[in-house]
Structure 1
Amino acid sequence: MILDESNILEYAAIMIFLPQWLSTMFIDNIMLSKVYSMPFSMKNIMLLSRWKNTWIILGISIAFICAYLILYFILNILMPRKFGSSPIGFSNIFCLSSWKQLFSFRRENLSDAVSDRFIDVIEIDKTYRSSPPVHALNNVTFSINQGDVVSLIGPNGSGKSTLLNAITRSISSDRGSLQIYGHQCSTGFSALQQHLGICYQENILFEGLSVYRHLEFFGTIRGLDSCHLKEDIEQIVSHFGLDGLENMSASTLSGGQKRKLCVAIAFIGHPYLVLLDEPTSGMDANIRQEIWKSISSYNVTSIVSTHSIEEAGILSNRMFVMRNGSLIFDGTPNDLRSQFHCGYRLTPIFSQESDKQYKTELVSWIQSKIDGVYLSPIHEDDIMLPVCDEITELLVEIESNKERFHINSFNIIVEQLENVLYRMYADDENL
């Protein structure tokens, strides 16, 4: 269709809502002013059929800019991200509390408790859409009481890191809900973000900043005022063994000192929950002991991911054991020993080789006194005893009945928890 003076205004009214036409019309007005020797002005009257009101062009251009900025903001808080999770997400687009939290600049108080439990995580699920799909978390449910120090144990690929990342919202879970002190959190795990302290497996430090400036920086982010910040830094420095290092830059610290600083940063600002991913990985025995002591004595609810059963036993009063994305054990170290028959290993040494015939009689006699006694399926000379209060009394009775069972002497050792974990993983693979 050929444009003429009779229809050009109709098409211009439509095309003016296309951004590229706005600039074309503006330049066209300048050229018309030049061709017809008219002074260019925003107030020029449409003396020519092709002349467009410059004020309208400018106004629509500003409207387009505002519309695109609003669209960018909305998509930025809704669209999935390669790293981390979106602030709102499409699943919470109609959730008013999510939008309120996004624009709230105050730290929410979690002290209004209606339950003794601090956190209830209910059926959290995560599947990575790959080929084939990887089910990283399989309906994981657990609760944590205030002040608990929980060790998260499992082999590589068991889902430990995925669980921690879901709690911190470094990744978004496919399903799952969260309760804090009995209150259902409609915003999910984002409700925990402003109350979390995190220590990653890698040391994340600013090489040019001193120890004091690191703690000051992260304390300020957590919302501490200058008065309480200084007091908190002094307490953290003393508790985590950083005395005398306050003015040293991170680049001059040793590996152990850097690790102490990273752990200390996680505790600055009085967080409600601290997550520590392999906090003593690669450290020597002395540094490990110091960090373990500092964490366990700080009285802050903590989840510690670790491969070391020794670390778990020292640090925690509860243990979570994961395998293939599922939580296969939740309890104390003693519960783990009891449930998976990890107690004491009794090895009787008979007077003569032929006296081993009395082993069966000895086992039956012990079984009459204590439940859960059995012969080791791996070491035929060992008798497995459960964790119980009667062990001391039993050993006294065995000592007094050595002649009866032709025992020359006996050894008793505590079975290592590593053996229990090995059996748990092996049993799980055989299912």
Structure 2
Amino acid sequence: MTETAQPPTALSVRNISYSYGKKPALNDISFDLAPGKVTALLGPNGAGKTTLFSLITGLFDCREGEVVIAGHPLRRDRSAALSSLGIVFQAQTLELDLTIDQNLRYFAALRGLTRLEAKDRIDMLLAAIGLEGLNKTKVRKLSGGQRRRVEVARALLDHPALLLLDEPSTGLDIATRRWLIEHVHALARDKGMTVLLATHLVDEVGDEDDVIVLDKGRIVAAGQVDAIVASAGAANLDEAFTRMTAHDAVSAA
């Protein structure tokens, strides 16, 4: 009986370190993401989450360590690695004076989709995110929550193997934030997508998620939610997270 070949890990990070001048931001970070799951990168502001995302996406040069996306080393096979990646940045990045359709079609062209493929994907995604029929609306006229939904659609246009979200709920109203987190978990559960969600909000983490706790540029815990809670001797993830990252407050008291 022939064994079925296993797909490559969506993201493998090995021994990543990074400094801003003499100030260290990340120190020997290593992890693999489980396929078809949401992994929450949980850390307080300034923990190094955005720096890590900048290295994974190639915005920063990874001088120490290695990033491998869907089997493609970022340093040696940058084009193939990044083609497997969808990302929603913390800051909004849509062109305000273009319509939703123009924004998405431009990105689709950059990703190599044909006009017909782009149209079909855009129509399907806009329906999925609750913006069906708004193709010709300029982004400037959208609410902040609607713009974020368009950015999620853009990240999903070409079926990425890995979806990165860098604190995507920043500035969103409660209803849109709830939709975003539920939609992301549905993508992992129903579509088998691998998701890395950077956040400092514990309520965005599902009970079934894997968690990486990052603090001061180091991984201080990694594993399933219940295991992290147990290892901290806590009653829940909120308490565990506070215990793992509250050293400054304790020392200053």
TM-score range, shorter chain: 0.7 to 0.9
Give the match for residue 233 of structure 1: 122
Q: Match of 1:302?
A: 195
Aligned residue number for residue 339 of structure 1: 231
CA distance in 1, matches of 2:162, 2:14: 17
Is 1:286 the counterpart of 2:179? The answer is no
Once residues 429 and 116 of structure 1 are traced to their aligned partners in structure 2, the CA distance between those partners, rounded to angstroms, is 41
Contact 2:29–2:218 (8 Å) recurs in 1: yes
Q: Which has the higher contact order (CA 8 A, sep 6+)?
A: 2
Equivalent residue, structure 2, for 1:253: 142
- Paired letter, 1:125: S
Deviations 1:50-84 (A, max 9, x none): xxxxxxxxxxxxxxxxxxxxxxxxxxxxxxxxxxx
| Counterpart secondary structure, 1:321 | strand
Q: Structure 2: where are the runs of 5+ without partners?
A: none
2:110 corresponds to which of 221, 237, 244: 221
Local SS of the residue matching 2:120: helix
SS in 2 for 1:145: coil
Instruction: Return the TM-score normalized by structure 2.
Output: 0.87
Decide whether the 8 Å contact of 2:167 with 2:198 is kept in 1.
yes
**TM-score, with normalisation over the residues of structure 1?**
0.52
Distance 1:189 1:419, change over 3 A: farther
Q: CA deviation at 1:249?
A: 0.8
**Structure 1 CA distance for aligned equivalents of residues 242 and 33 of structure 2:** 26
Map Cα deviations across residues 361-389 of structure 1 (whole Å, 9 max, x no partner).
xxxxxxxxxxxxxxxxxxxxxxxxxxxxx
Task: Determine if contact 1:136/1:162 at 8 Å carries over to the other structure.
Answer: yes
In structure 2, how many angstroms separate the alpha carbons of the residues matched to 1:204 and 1:286? Answer: 21
Greater strand content: 2
Give 3-state SS (helix, strand or coil) of 1:291's partner: helix
- State the shift of 1:428 in Å: 8.3
Aligned partner (choices 63, 68, 81) of residue 192 of structure 1: 81
In structure 1, list runs of 5 or more residues that go unmatched: 1-111, 344-415
Deviation at 1:200, TM superposition (A): 1.2
Q: 2:9 aligns with which of 117, 124, 138?
A: 117
Gap change, CA 1:161 and 1:186, over 3 Å in 2 = closer
| 1:22-61 equivalences in 2 (<5 Å) | none
RMSD of aligned alpha carbons: 2.5
Shift of 1:226: 2.1
1:274 paired with 2:186, answer no
Deviation at residue 252 of structure 1 after TM alignment: 0.8
Q: Name the residue aligned to 1:421.
A: 241
Q: Secondary structure of the equivalent of 2:10?
A: strand
Look at both structures and tell me which one has the larger radius of gyration over its CA atoms: 1
Residues matched between the structures, number: 244
Counterpart code for 1:238: A
Alpha-carbon separation, structure 2, partners of 1:183 and 1:340: 35
